[in-house]
Chains A and B, each alone.
Chain A
Amino acid sequence: MLIKTKANILSSQITDRAVFESRREFIKAATALSAGLMLPSPGQAATGKYADAPVGPYSAKLQVTDREDVANYTNYYEFSTNKTDSTVLAKALKTAPWTVEVTGEVEKPGVYNLEDILKDNPVQERIYRFRCVEAWSMVVPWIGFPLGDMLKRFKPTSKAKFVEFTTLNNPEIMVGQRSGVLDWPYVEGLRIDEAMHPLTMMVTGMYGDELPNQNGAPLRLIVPWKYGFKSIKAIVKIRFMETMPETAWHKSAPGEYGFYANVNPEVPHPRWSQSRERVLGGSIFTPKRETEKFNGYGEEVAALYSGMDLKQYF
């Protein structure tokens, strides 16, 4: 079956094909330009650690959400189910030194230091939309690098069909893990082609600075066309797998949260509509905004799911 995605994105938001196809030159040029001129991009703080990060491809020119709103409205159940409490509780997490274990169907497994990973993967800034399954959204200038670039260095084998990510499990510090809201540690996963997609990012910062702990420091995933719960925080383990990994929310409520979790206004959550979203930062007089299929990234990712019934594979 052919799935046609309706392009309900403003034409001004769509990258011109010529520009898209010359994106690698564009990155190089942008890197050279901002490295040379130290141009701060719109979302960046002038003084942050990554203030001089170049603007990467796919970065949309969108009204960026206030940093305070992004930093104080997090679903980080490892600390608290309260979206503001995790800001305080997550301060207890020590994010350095940090290692990431790489295992599974891969030629170069091992325990990698985050520092070394960052040395191999220069960061860039990308302004992405972020849409939570709870029907709210924001626009964040993330700092990070394409996940695919990092994964390729570990040389996945031909058996690697999926990638599984695991969050740190430490109930002493992550006090939310003492309660059984979810089956800890938090696990997420992607199909290998989703993981290798140039939109998919490993994130270490936001707003030109380091990632605050509550936003998933020191290393998190960002998959902008999927609901936020796919974008796992504080990653300590990456496993390449032949079979589809069992993910935390799917395990907790398989009828409500699927493995794919693509943003899709046409497929409501069993208990609430997904057709609209509350954009953070508005006043109480701003109505909800229409949700876009694949969160507005359909041009880039719809092909990944051609022939799939997205109602079945929600």
Chain B
Amino acid sequence: MIFRINNLRSKFIVVCLLPLLWLCVDIAFDNLGSNPVQALHIRLGDWSLRFLCLTLAITPIQTITKWRGMADYRQLFGLYAFFYASLHLLGYLLADHALMWRIIGIDIIESPYIWFGVLAYGIIFLLALTSPKWAKKRMGKTWKKLHRLIYIAAVAAIIHYFWQLKGNLAEPLFYSIIVFLLLGFRVLVWVKNRQLTKMMIPTGQRVLALAEKQGVIQEAPRKQR
């Protein structure tokens, strides 16, 4: 039997909504402790960050396992990261400040940790907006460049997490290690590719030069490239 992850996609769409359901149950049964709004913010922020990590994990998984059809999951998880980040933002605007924009403005200006949240959300918002396949086709090379901003979003989200805390840094540290590893994988691949290209071009030239010298070919076919 052939393992076909594509069939699982529809199930994943539902599974990814479970954290929201779980949160709703906790709100309904007053399970969020003495400071329910803070708990709500942490819960939604955590899930957004988790989905962001999952999104970043797809490419390394694909590279290592050589599984096909993972790009759809990258899109799915990315959109869920956006979904939970949007709820996280709504929670801040509604539960904390009841949409009082002047107060929200002051709060953002006075709270540098929120600047990084705004940056991360702005990026994820743009990525979600350009996530449909037709947008990808239309944007061409720009799409890939734009979607590389996810690395900046991930780092900004981590800073956002760290900077609102006073003492316990264990949890954000856990996520920063994950993000560091996932970004580190890209750097490794990039360095490896660069080394390969560096090594390959001179080798190719040397082969051609040798062939020319020995009179195997008259002229190196460089212009054909």
Contact = CB atoms under 8 A, between A and B. Distances in A.
Interface of A: 68-70, 72-73, 75, 77, 81-84, 133-134, 136, 181-182, 268, 270-276, 278, 280-288
Question: Top 5 nearest A-B pairs by Cβ distance?
Answer: A81-B168, A273-B110, A73-B34, A69-B34, A287-B98
A287 B167 contact: no
Chain B binding surface SS class: helix
Interface of B: 27, 32-38, 40, 91, 95-98, 100, 103, 106-107, 109-114, 163-164, 166-168, 170
B168 A84 contact: no
B168 A278 contact: no
Contacts of A283: 36
A240 B65 CA distance: 67
B93 to A, nearest CB: 10
Contacts of B110: 268, 272-275
9 contacts: A68-B34, A70-B34, A75-B167, A271-B163, A272-B163, A273-B110, A278-B35, A278-B38, A287-B97
Given A273-B107, A273-B109, 5 more contacts: A75-B166, A181-B168, A268-B110, A272-B110, A287-B96
Contacts of A134: 166
Contact of B167 (A68, A81, A84, A274): A81
Contacts of B103: 275-276
DSSP majority for the A interface? loop
A285 B36 CA distance: 10
A81 B170 CA distance: 10
A77 B107 contact: no
B113 A280 contact: no
A284 B35 contact: no
Contact of B164 (A70, A82, A271): A271
Contacts of B40: 284
A211 B32 CA distance: 24
A259 B188 CA distance: 47
Nearest to A70: B34
Nearest to B39: A284
A72 B106 contact: no
Contacts of A275: 103, 106-107, 110
Contacts of B167: 75, 77, 81, 181-182
Residue in A70, A77, A268 whose Cβ sees the most chain B Cβ within 10 Å: A268
A285 B103 CA distance: 17
Contact of A136 (B38, B91, B112, B163): B38
Contacts of B27: 284
A7 B37 CA distance: 29
Nearest to B95: A284
A81 B111 CA distance: 22
A183 to B, nearest CB: 12
